Amino acid sequence: MSIVKMISEHPDTGDQFNEPLALAVKHAMYCAAICNSCADACSAEEMEMRRCIRLCMDCADVCTATYRVASRRTDHNRQLIRTMLAACIEACETCGAECANHDNPHCRRCATMCAECARDCRAALEGLNREIHEAA
């Protein structure tokens, strides 16, 4: 099943399908799961991982809220989606930077996923900003 296809088939999407936004939704979903798993794996590490755990949990929550809000296409709330994307970028960059400091497979994977999610959220945000400026 594809969330990108699901969004594209929404009755209110029509010819207004925003592929970068759909990709950001997809990667925010993945990032939420990866960050959640990384936080759990960090809790099993013998070294002090408190900051990493906290940032991973925060990032998972922000990514979850972002994909949930951004996947709704009825009566587009572009301003809120833009705000959520910006928050997701911040959470992913912060979490990714912390995970990049640790030499274990789960943190490396998490840092990579955070970078991908931030990149896609940034592209979606730029697209929404263009839409708003073109409509004005």
- The CATH number assigned to the domain holding 59 equals 1.20.1270.360
- Reduced to 3 states (helix: H, G, I; strand: E, B; else coil), residue 1 is coil
Instruction: Return the amino acid letter for 53.
Output: I
Is residue 13 one of the residues assigned to a domain? no
Range of the domain at 58: 18-135
Q: Is residue 1 in some structural domain? A: no
- Does a structural domain hold residue 37? yes
The answer as to whether 49 is a domain residue is yes
90 domain residue, yes or no: yes
> Tokens at residue 65, please?
């809220």
Q: Which two tokens stand for residue 48?
A: 């002090």
- What is the number of domains present in the chain? 1
pLDDT of residue 3: 63
Residue 10 lies in a domain: no
Distance CA 52, CA 101 (A): 9
pLDDT in tens, 30-82: 999 999 999 999 999 999 999 999 999 999 999 999 999 998 876 778 889 99
CA 1 to chain centre: 19
Q: Is residue 10 predicted with pLDDT exceeding 60?
A: no
Residue 2 lies in a domain: no
- What are phi and psi for residue 17, nearest 5 degrees? -60, 130
76-128 residue pLDDT tens: 788 899 999 999 999 999 999 999 999 999 999 999 999 999 999 999 999 88
Whether residue 123 lies inside any domain: the answer is yes
pLDDT band at 5 (very low <50, low <70, confident <90, very high): low
